[in-house]
């Protein structure tokens, strides 16, 4: 029998009638295979024309914290591709090759506190965590050695009371990280999307007016975070502060989360959401505030909770987890806690937090506790009596937070000879030497002056702080540290007759590391149309009992004109304010245009 080939029509082949009938039936069946598929609504259909959707095997995309990978912001993708906590061998390999990291690894290195800060400096900056700002003389001396042997020979105290050491070559980073840990310190989580250095009132433990020594809570949270792998790699950074109610401001309400010690003067009834009530005895507790980010114009808001101090670390841990799981990982500009609170509302955030806790915080309005006592502006400079009789703490002023290695060693030695080998860093970029016997104060003052430190509080110059600026930060529009130091020097011996002290904050870009919106005078760095450096000037901000966001009064002022302009502003304040009226009070009672005229 002849065989039909693929090129021959079947009809042309010499099949028997029976064979032809079989083949035609077979081919007809092939043209109409029984069909089973899925409609767009998810039902199973036998109609091949019913818009088939392959619902049985839907397209699958991996997610990271519930966000599809394709929607993640770039740093989130980097975190997903390689956990930054697992790159120790990579750091050592870069050190061995004396090589800087690529963009993705430069981001991951920040989880170890290492910042490649090119083009500002083609080197690494190391940020060291100093929980509660508490440092031993041995640690300070060890950091001075590191700064001198491997870095630029200096350090900066930051506005989170960290210490930053600069100008490390890649070949040094393995040894630098190891020696920091040998000193009992760590830089882990000091940068990128982590809980940053835990700050606290720097006079904790010796402040005559404090309600609670908050150091144990700051240290407790520090160690908890460091030992919980899931609390690294948040949607963005997360700042936490503990406020003792003491003399010096911890700038607490500028944090994502702050705990403020308060006194409940009389027993109060707390009513939970399920209608049950509890009597809360009088005593000292923490109130909680959430969502501070002053660069975005917001202070932290009271959450309506009162907790026992011993519950603070647990509450912080729960809140950081809620933020980690639900914060925005697609848009870096909306990834801070403030935006989760805006999306959810405070009530939902607290409900999610409460679900993680095995105890119930007490819902009590802020008005049920005694108000915090006012902070002492510029209380971080000069000599102040401690709670311990016969002892004082001495506030040492630094020039825009700068410390040479020689000054670090000098301070360490003075803390050992005149104190208890302990120092405290403040978020005002200076240092306290505590536990000094009163009779040793005159000698200590003379020795501090010989090291080049400022001790006397000047109402005009005693509160000048600055972010890193263009010498060490790629985002900076201006050399903030140089401009701040020059202004402080110019004002130091002038305008001693101001009605009240003022704070002046220099920040080099809108990230606002020096919180320009909370200064009496805030300066935001800007490139002027001709490419030169200048500042936008905001006026009338404040913190604590003066809390408020400053208003922009001057725009694009050349850097060279800053000193005369600030002097003019302060002279107007001195001449026109009421007796004892603070700068914030004086400026806030004036409408913006009028204030601009008065200050021009
Ligand atoms: Fe850098 Fe901007 Fe922060 Fe200043 S405020 S240190 S310029 S990121």
Beta strand pairing call for 257-264 and 240-243: parallel
How would residue 18 be classed by pLDDT, with cut points 50, 70 and 90? confident
Average pLDDT over residues 213-228: 97
Q: Which two tokens stand for residue 462?
A: 């005693």
Which of 162, 481, 508, 535 has most ligand 1 atoms within 8 Å of CB, for mutation?
508
Name the E strands within 19-98. 37-38, 44-45, 63-64, 67-68
469 Cα–ligand 1 center, Å:
6
Q: What pLDDT is attached to residue 19?
A: 78
Q: What pLDDT is attached to residue 52?
A: 56
Distance of alpha carbon 1 from the chain centroid: 88
How many separate helices (H) and strands (E) can be counted in the chain? 16, 27
Ligand 1 neighbourhood includes 507 CB (under 6 angstroms): yes
How would residue 47 be classed by pLDDT, with cut points 50, 70 and 90? confident
Length of the chain: 600
Q: What pLDDT is attached to residue 1?
A: 42
Ligand 1 neighbourhood includes 510 CB (under 6 angstroms): no
Residue whose CA is at the smallest distance from ligand 1 atom 3: 513
Ligand 1 neighbourhood includes 509 CB (under 6 angstroms): yes
Residue that wins the pLDDT comparison between 236 and 36: 236
477 Cα–ligand 1 center, Å:
9
Identify whether the C-beta of residue 371 lies closer than 8 Å to the C-beta of residue 112.
no
pLDDT at 4 over 50: no
Q: What pLDDT is attached to residue 30?
A: 59
Q: For the whole model, what pTM was predicted? A: 0.89
pLDDT at 535 over 50: yes
Which of 468, 510, 514 has most ligand 1 atoms within 8 Å of CB, for mutation?
468
Identify whether the C-beta of residue 319 lies closer than 8 Å to the C-beta of residue 257.
yes
What tens digit of pLDDT does each residue of 279-331 get?
999 999 999 999 999 888 899 999 999 999 999 999 999 999 999 999 999 99
342 Cα–ligand 1 center, Å:
25
Residue whose CA is at the smallest distance from ligand 1 atom 2: 509
Q: CA-to-CA distance for 600 and 582, rounded, in angstroms?
A: 20
How would residue 15 be classed by pLDDT, with cut points 50, 70 and 90? confident
476 Cα–ligand 1 center, Å:
6
Identify whether the C-beta of residue 362 lies closer than 8 Å to the C-beta of residue 305.
yes
**DSSP conformational letter for 400:** T
Which of 507, 516, 527 has most ligand 1 atoms within 8 Å of CB, for mutation?
507
Which of 296, 511, 525 has most ligand 1 atoms within 8 Å of CB, for mutation?
511
Q: CA-to-CA distance for 209 and 386, rounded, in angstroms?
A: 9
78 Cα–ligand 1 center, Å:
23
Q: How many CB atoms lie within 10 A of CB 51?
A: 11
For the chain, the maximum distance between any two Cα atoms, rounded to a whole number of angstroms, is: 125
Locate the ligand 1 atom nearest the alpha carbon of residue 476 and give its number.
7
Q: Which two tokens stand for residue 304?
A: 């309506």
What tens digit of pLDDT does each residue of 496-522 get?
999 999 999 999 999 999 999 999 999
pLDDT at 493 over 70: yes
Ligand 1 neighbourhood includes 467 CB (under 6 angstroms): yes
Locate the ligand 1 atom nearest the alpha carbon of residue 468 and give its number.
6
What tens digit of pLDDT does each residue of 544-599 get?
999 999 999 999 999 999 999 999 999 999 999 999 999 999 999 999 999 999 99
């Amino acid at each position: 029998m002849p065989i039909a080939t693929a090129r021959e029509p079947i009809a042309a082949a010499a099949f028997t009638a029976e064979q032809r009938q079989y083949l035609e039936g077979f081919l007809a069946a092939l043209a109409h295979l029984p069909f089973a598929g899925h409609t767009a609504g998810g039902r199973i259909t036998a109609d091949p024309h019913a818009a088939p959707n392959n619902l049985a095997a839907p397209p699958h995309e991996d997610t990271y914290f519930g966000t599809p990978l394709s929607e993640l912001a770039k740093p989130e993708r980097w975190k997903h591709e390689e956990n930054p906590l697992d790159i120790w061998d990579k750091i050592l390999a870069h050190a061995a090759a004396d090589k800087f990291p690529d963009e993705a690894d430069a981001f991951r290195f920040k989880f170890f506190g290492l910042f490649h800060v090119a083009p500002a400096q083609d080197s690494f900056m190391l940020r060291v965590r100093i929980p509660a700002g508490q440092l031993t003389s041995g640690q300070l001396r060890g950091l001075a050695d590191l700064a001198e042997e491997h870095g630029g020979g200096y350090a900066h105290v930051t506005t989170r009371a960290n210490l930053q050491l600069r100008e490390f070559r890649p070949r040094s980073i393995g040894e630098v990280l190891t020696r920091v840990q040998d000193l009992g310190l760590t830089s882990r989580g000091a940068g990128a999307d982590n809980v940053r250095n835990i700050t606290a009132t720097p006079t904790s433990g010796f402040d005559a007016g404090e309600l609670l020594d908050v150091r144990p809570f700051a240290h407790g949270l520090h160690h908890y975070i460091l030992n919980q792998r899931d609390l690294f790699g948040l949607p963005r950074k997360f700042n936490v502060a503990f406020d003792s109610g003491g003399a010096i401001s911890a700038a607490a309400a500028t944090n994502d989360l702050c705990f403020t010690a308060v006194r409940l003067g009389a027993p109060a009834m707390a009513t939970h959401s399920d209608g049950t009530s509890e009597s809360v005895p009088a005593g000292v507790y923490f109130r909680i505030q959430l969502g501070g980010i002053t660069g975005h114009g917001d202070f932290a808001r009271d959450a309506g909770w009162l907790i026992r101090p011993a519950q603070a670390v647990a509450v912080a841990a729960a809140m950081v987890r809620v933020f980690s799981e639900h914060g925005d990982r697609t848009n870096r500009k909306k990834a801070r806690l403030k935006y989760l609170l805006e999306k959810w509302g405070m009530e939902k955030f607290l409900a999610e937090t409460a679900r993680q806790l095995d105890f119930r915080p007490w819902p009590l309005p802020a008005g049920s506790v005694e108000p915090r006592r006012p902070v002492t502006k510029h209380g971080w400079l000069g000599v102040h009596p401690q709670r311990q009789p016969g002892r004082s703490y001495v506030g040492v002023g630094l020039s825009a937070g700068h410390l040479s290695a020689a000054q670090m060693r000098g301070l360490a030695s003075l803390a050992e000879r005149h104190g208890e080998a302990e120092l405290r860093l403040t978020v005002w970029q200076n240092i306290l030497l505590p536990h000094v016997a009163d009779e040793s104060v005159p000698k200590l003052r003379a020795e501090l002056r010989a090291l080049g430190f400022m001790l006397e509080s000047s109402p005009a110059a005693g509160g000048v702080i600055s972010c890193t600026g263009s010498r060490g930060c790629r985002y900076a529009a201006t050399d903030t540290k140089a401009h701040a130091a020059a202004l402080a020097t110019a004002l130091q011996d002038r305008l001693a007759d101001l009605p009240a002290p003022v704070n002046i904050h220099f920040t080099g870009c809108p990230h606002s590391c020096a919180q320009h919106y909370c200064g009496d005078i805030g300066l935001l760095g800007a490139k002027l149309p001709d490419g030169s450096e200048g500042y936008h000037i905001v006026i009338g901000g404040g913190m604590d009992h003066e809390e408020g966001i400053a208003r922009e009064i001057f725009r694009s002022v050349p850097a060279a004109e800053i000193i005369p302009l600030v002097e003019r502003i302060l002279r107007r304040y001195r001449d026109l304010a009421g007796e004892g009226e603070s700068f914030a009070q004086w400026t806030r009672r004036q409408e913006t245009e009028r204030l601009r005229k008065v200050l021009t």
